[in-house]
Amino acid sequence: MKKWFTLRRILIALGAVFALIQLIPVDRSNPPAVPENDFLVQTKAPENIAQIMKTACYDCHSNQTVYPWYSYIAPVSFWLKNHINEGRGELNFSEWNAMSAKEKSHAMKEAAEMVKEGEMPMNSYTWVHKDARLTIQQQEQLAAWFSQVRGGGAETEIESHRD
């Protein structure tokens, strides 16, 4: 009888904590996304690459995050917002023009490697976003595009637009 009473108290306390943390606000706004600064626009990405990136990369690595329904439930909302902040901090495709040529080159090298190795998109993202799971062919296409941008094909076009 005492075990049930203790378990009931613990469950009530956990329920109360869960209810109270729902009151902690999480900023789900996106910074402005200026099309002229966007990676896909600047690199003139082919439609197939743009589609892959919008599906698999842009929720965490751009200012165009679409927040799902579960982003309104704490503690998932805290974890998700932190994850998005970290993703944007590593590489924000919406702010491509703000990066130096050296930063762009490094970002493309890292992105190509992570996609090739299956590290991106992250498993925690693809569990819920099944359409973001990349096939081997998509991984190869994306990694090749990142390598091409890094190598100067699209990068050269970017630099010529700045002059």
Q: pLDDT tens track of the chain, all 163 residues?
A: 677 778 889 999 999 999 998 988 889 889 988 999 999 999 999 999 999 999 999 999 999 999 999 999 999 999 999 999 999 999 999 999 999 999 999 999 999 999 999 999 999 899 989 999 999 999 999 999 999 998 854 433 333 333 3
DSSP H/E element including 54: helix 47-56
- For residue 148, count other CB atoms closer than 10 A to its CB: 16
> Under the phi-then-psi rule, with left for phi > 0, alpha for psi from -120 to 50, and beta for the rest, what region is 152?
left
What is the number of structural domains in the chain? 1
From residue 119, give the alpha-carbon distance in Å to each of 32, 46, 55, 65, 112. Answer: 28, 23, 16, 20, 10
pLDDT of residue 151: 81
Contact 115, 142 (CB under 8 A): yes
Give the pLDDT confidence score for residue 152 in this predicted structure: 59
Rounded CA gap, 15 and 119, in Å? 36
3-state secondary structure of 34: coil
Give the pLDDT of residue 163.
38
Task: Output the pLDDT for position 1.
Answer: 62
Pick from 93, 86, 99: which is nearest to 35 by CA? Answer: 93
Spatial separation of the C-alpha atoms in residues 99 and 20, rounded to whole Å: 41
Tokens at 39, concatenated:
């990676």
**Boundaries of domain holding 157:** 2-162
